[in-house]
Chain A
Amino acid sequence: MNKIYTSLILVFTLIVVWTIYLTNVENDTNSLTVRYYTIEELSTKEASITKVKVGGLIKPDSIIINDTDQLEVSFYVYQGSDSLKVYYYGIRPDLFKDNAEVVVAGAFDDNLIIATELQTKCASRYEGDLKNIEKI
Chain B
Amino acid sequence: MISQIGSLALSISGGLILSNFFFLFYYAIKKDKTFLNVSERGLIAVCFCVILATLCLLNELLISNFNLQYVSQYTSYETPLFFKVTALWAGQAGSLLFWTFIMSIYSLIYIHVTLKKMPILKYSSYIILSFIFGFFLLLSNFIANPFQPVSSDIIVQNGNGLNPLLQNVTMAIHPPTLYLGFIGTTILFVMALSGLISKSLNFEWIQSIRRWSLIVWTFLSGGIILGGYWAYNELGWGGYWAWDPVENSSLMPWLILTAFIHSSMIQEKRGMLKSWNILLAASTFLLVILGTFITRSGIVSSVHSFTAENLGPLFLAFLSSLILFTGYWFVKRFDTLKSDNKIDSFTSREGGFLYNNLILLLMCFIVLWGTLFPILSEAWNGEKIYVGATYFNQLNVPIGLVLLFLMGVGPLLSWKTTSRHTLLSNFKIPMLMSFFSGVIYSIFFGPFQLYPLVTCMGIAFTITSIMNEFRKSYKKSKSNSKSIPSAIVSMLFSNRHKNGGYIVHIGITLLFVGFIGRAFEVEKEFNLSPGEEIYFANYIFKLNSIKSEARDNHYAFISDIDVIDQSNNLLTSLRPEKRIYFYWNPDPEQRQPHSELDIYSTMRKDIYSIFSAYDAEKNQGYFKIMINPLVNWVWVGGIVMVLGSLFSFWPSKRRNHGII
Question: Which A positions have Cβ atoms within 8 angstroms of B?
Answer: 2, 4-5, 8, 11-12, 15-16, 19-20, 22-23, 27, 31-36, 53, 55, 69-71, 90-92, 94-95, 97-99, 103, 119, 121-123, 125-128, 130-136
Instruction: Using known A-B contacts A4-B351, A8-B354, determine if residue A71 contacts B525 with beta carbons closer than 8 Å.
Output: yes
| B interface: dominant SS | mixed
Q: Considering only CB atoms, which chain B residue lies closest to A35 in the complex?
A: B385
Tally of contacts, chain A with chain B, CB under 8 A: 148
Least CB distance, A131 to chain B, in whole angstroms: 7
Question: Do A2 and B154 touch across chains, with their CB atoms under 8 A apart?
Answer: no
Question: Do B153 and A136 touch across chains, with their CB atoms under 8 A apart?
Answer: yes
Question: Do A32 and B391 touch across chains, with their CB atoms under 8 A apart?
Answer: yes
Report the bound CA distance from A127 to B587 in whole Å.
Answer: 18
Can you list 14 A-B contacts (CB < 8 A)? A15-B399, A22-B391, A23-B369, A32-B388, A32-B390, A32-B394, A36-B383, A92-B612, A94-B236, A95-B592, A95-B593, A103-B301, A130-B72, A136-B153
Q: Does B346 contact A (CB under 8 A)?
A: yes
Report the bound CA distance from A12 to B73 in whole Å.
Answer: 48
Question: Which B positions have Cβ atoms within 8 angstroms of A?
Answer: 69, 72-74, 90-91, 150, 153-158, 160, 162-163, 236, 301, 303, 305-308, 342-343, 345-346, 351, 354-355, 358, 361-362, 365-366, 369-370, 373-374, 383-388, 390-391, 394-395, 399, 525, 527, 585, 587, 589-590, 592-595, 610, 612-613, 615, 620, 622, 624
> Which residues in B have their C-beta under 8 angstroms from that of A135?
153-154
Least CB distance, B376 to chain A, in whole angstroms: 9
Question: Do B594 and A94 touch across chains, with their CB atoms under 8 A apart?
Answer: yes
> Which residues in A have their C-beta under 8 angstroms from that of B74?
126
Which listed residue, A23, A94, A97, touches B589 by the CB 8 Å rule?
Answer: A97
Report the bound CA distance from A131 to B592 in whole Å.
Answer: 14
Apart from A33-B391, A98-B589, list 9 A-B contacts with CB within 8 A. A4-B343, A12-B362, A16-B362, A23-B385, A34-B388, A94-B236, A126-B91, A130-B156, A134-B155
> Which residues in B have their C-beta under 8 angstroms from that of A98?
589
Question: Do B592 and A53 touch across chains, with their CB atoms under 8 A apart?
Answer: no
> Which residues in B have their C-beta under 8 angstroms from that of A35?
383-386
Report the bound CA distance from A135 to B179 in whole Å.
Answer: 38
Question: Do A71 and B622 touch across chains, with their CB atoms under 8 A apart?
Answer: yes
Q: Considering only CB atoms, which chain A residue lies closest to B236 in the complex?
A: A94
Which of A33, A121, A123 counts the most B-chain CB atoms under 10 A from its CB? A33
Which listed residue, A90, A99, A125, touches B592 by the CB 8 Å rule?
Answer: A125
> Which residues in A have their C-beta under 8 angstroms from that of B385?
23, 27, 33-36
